[in-house]
Amino acid sequence: MSENKDFLRTIAEEDLATGKYKEVITRFPPEPNGFPHIGHAKSICINFGIARDYNGHCNLRMDDTNPTTEDMRYVEALKDAVTWLGFTWNGEVRYASDYFPKLYDYAVALIKMGKAYVDSLNEEEIKAYRGTVTEAGRRSVYAQRSVEENLDLFARMRAGEFQNGAHVLRAKIDMNASNMKMRDPLLYRIRHAHHFRTGDSWCIYPMYDFAHCLSDYIEGVTHSICTLEFENNRELYDWVLDALELTPPRPYQHEFARLGMNYTVMSKRKLLELVKGGYVNGWDDPRLPTIAGYKRRGYTAESILNFCEQIGIAKANSMVDVAQLEFCIRDDLNTKVPRVMCVLDPLKITIENYEGEEEIDASYYPHDVPKVGSRKLPFSKEIYIERDDFSENPPSGYFRLTPDQPVRLKHAYILTCKEVVKDENGNIVEIKATYHPESKSGADTSGIKVKSAIHWVSARHAKEVEVRLYERLYKVDAPEGLEDLNPDSLHVIPRAFAEPAVVCEKPDERFQFERQGYFYADPIDYTDAKPVFNKIVGLKDSWNKKSEPVASTPKPEAKKVHIEGEIAPMNAQEQERFERYTNTLGLNAEIANTLARDGALSAFYEEALLVFKSPVGIANIVANDVARELKQAEMLTFDAKDVAELAKLVDEGVISSSISRQVFEQMVKTGENPKAIVEAKGLTQISDPAQIVPIIDDIIAKNPENVAKYKAGNTKLLGFFVGQTLKATGGKANPSVVNALVEKALESM
């Protein structure tokens, strides 16, 4: 082990040295409700890495306690991420649902000990009784039920006699506790929902804080490693294990700082919004920070592991620059991949004094890369170069081809421009040039001095390929919502031209396209008939330089969110609003915080609510879109009634959430009524299968290879077909309807 151990490894070593544990046993316990992202990669590296370093083992356990959001395809994505990163879990994959009978028995034991009771308050009453960070809570009158009555009610909950929300099981701890997690927390809730593993055999499900610590104990976990947001949960973790008086050894929880990265969102809710709303093409879209996205884009497992090692393990949250991750993939690929030539924006050059064709020997690797390999580059009379590698009126410092300046063709000859051919609109369509036979690379006796070399391909021999250029998904370093999406995050070049070896000889699946960046043969869409390459990363970080001239409105200083366990600096009126928005209207803390602290925004929100009762839907529009316009515009072109009507159109399924963005932008520009905009532009959401099925059938018919891959087990392609369908309808199709219809169509084939 290194002398510079992180604090978690220091703890593990001390625990082994003192005999607290005989073996280090960790676990990676994700909830299977989405695809794992780069933050999960850090957790995977920590949990599996520590177990490996101390000759222990790590379990892979699915925290499948919420049947309404979980799915087997998410389980497969999590398994794939761990395997791809090079780790192996101990034994079979474990599931919290494996322990449902045992967890139920533990709950019964707590009831018998008088440490848990069945509460019949409704959700709003439970929130109201809970108190605030400055006020003690009140214990429910139902806490006085006898042990016998609690056992009876809990058994009947288990038997399915009650509807959702009728009762909950709570721990009896302390309604005056400063840590609000300890104010008689919920242990079980009723949820009549089909579970993807246990089916309908359970209708009550354990809460995370109850299931997690006991699952750790059942598995013999020693070090329960989690991120800092669970720091307040540690007291409850310990309480459950101590209250049950379990036989030692028992696990202990340790927290580390989660990964935060600029230009990136890692909230599962926001990622799901992007996928379901059709803003990206599935969970493996190369613009997403999911492991599947990085993998499809062409990132290597080694680059992700190096990144996680570089950022280290800390006790305080901080923001990591995404450029550091990009550096890691460049650094990894630099010594691995062959260098080839591909022209993305072709300009034809006819070499008037060259006849016939020849093959030029060219190495795949520069002299400083310790690898061998070469190919034959065909050279002929007609070639393509990049359009921006020629300038008729060059700026100062331009070293490529001009009417007065020759340039070297990489691996080949020096070229001199003789004539510029233009079309009737004055656009350059061809360059007529001459080459210097004595200037061949490696045997140049021409004496001609050039200042640069450019890449090229032989027009007759080049292979047509599709190239997908990816930029950052968000245009701001601290994205908050859909309004921060970068509209230029994907640029598809359907007809680029690559040297033939790339496609015919396939020396690798990753390449450095000379002077362009690193590229990867798309593992799903690539075919011999239509090669497709994804841009992994540029040769250098051009983002900051590119972004500098773009003026942007500075964001207001982030306001402190009301967090359990600490006192937020709100005045009495703001605090009252915050409590109402979270406890009564069900808003999340971030949105509630934004509205509660801004009097004008709050007033607008309240006015809209009087028109249409959609607390969450209206709040999202007001806190994100209306807030932006209030900061930027001198006068609003819409009012609260318009926003309420827009929310109503979404809630009633008239338009999709993605289309609502278009409608709002039109409201801002013209002041038109949202319903009138939808009708005039034909933006009504398409939910009728009769309209959607023909589109799906057409897409399936045009993609037989992807259908075959799906049938062979590549279920990730479901996202491809859904994305293509949404794209074909201009985002108007109902995403949930499309998802079901696509799945049905593929399964029926």
Residues 438 and 577 in one domain: no
Mean pLDDT of 12-38: 97
Boundary (domain end) residue, out of 643, 665, 681: 681
56 within domain boundaries: yes
Whether 634 and 666 share a structural domain: yes
Q: Where does a domain end: 625, 651, 681?
A: 681
Residues 697, 616 share a domain: no
Active-site pick, 5, 13, 31, 381: 31
Domain range for 418 is 339-462+499-515
What pLDDT score was predicted for residue 557? 36
Largest Cα–Cα distance of the chain, in whole Å?
A: 101
In a domain, 435, yes or no: yes
Whether 666 is covered by a domain: the verdict is: yes
CATH code (residue 78): 3.40.50.620
Is 506 a catalytic site residue?
no
248 band by pLDDT with thresholds 50, 70 and 90: very high
Q: Is the domain of 28 the same as that of 76? A: yes
- Per the model's pLDDT, the better-predicted residue between 736 and 84 turns out to be 84
622-676 confidence digits (pLDDT tens): 988 888 787 766 678 899 999 999 999 988 888 877 688 788 888 888 888 999 9
Domains: count for the chain: 5
pLDDT more than 90, % of the chain:
72
pLDDT mean across residues, the chain: 91
Does residue 548 sit within a domain?
A: no
- The alpha carbon of residue 185 and the mean position of all alpha carbons in its chain are separated, in whole angstroms, by 31
Active-site residue identified among 258, 418, 559, 675: 258
Tell me if 19 is assigned to some domain: yes
At 445-491, the pLDDT tens digits run: 999 999 899 999 999 999 999 999 999 999 999 998 999 999 999 99
- Buried b / exposed e along 465-479 (16+ C-beta atoms within 10 A): bbbbbbbbbbbbbeb
Are 100 and 202 in contact by the 8 Å Cβ rule? The answer is: yes
Q: Are residues 38 and 90 in the same domain?
A: yes
- pLDDT one-digit tens code per residue, 144-172: 999 999 999 999 999 999 999 999 999 99
Whether 347 and 450 map to the same domain: the answer is: yes
Does the pLDDT value for residue 506 go beyond 70?
Answer: yes
- Please tell me the distance from the alpha carbon of residue 537 to that of residue 392, in angstroms, as a whole number: 30
Task: Check if the beta carbon of residue 51 is closer than 8 Å to that of residue 24.
Answer: yes
258 assigned to active site: yes
DSSP assignment letter at 655: S
14 with 53, same domain: the answer is yes
Query: Same structural domain for residues 391 and 449?
Result: yes
Helix (H) or strand (E) holding 651: helix 640-651
Q: Which long-range contacts (CB under 8 A, 24 or more apart) does 18-21 make?
A: 20/222, 20/249, 21/222, 21/249
Assess whether 50 and 66 both reside in one domain. Answer: yes
pLDDT, residue 90, reads 95
Tokens of 394: 């060059």
- Are residues 174 and 223 both part of a single domain? no
pLDDT in tens, 172-224: 999 999 999 999 999 999 999 999 999 999 999 999 999 999 999 999 999 99
* CATH number, residue 351: 2.40.240.10
Residue 517 has pLDDT above 50, yes or no: yes
Regarding whether 639 and 735 lie in a shared domain, the answer is no
Question: Are residues 429 and 363 located together in one domain of the fold?
Answer: yes
The catalytic residue among 268, 339, 432, 675 is 268
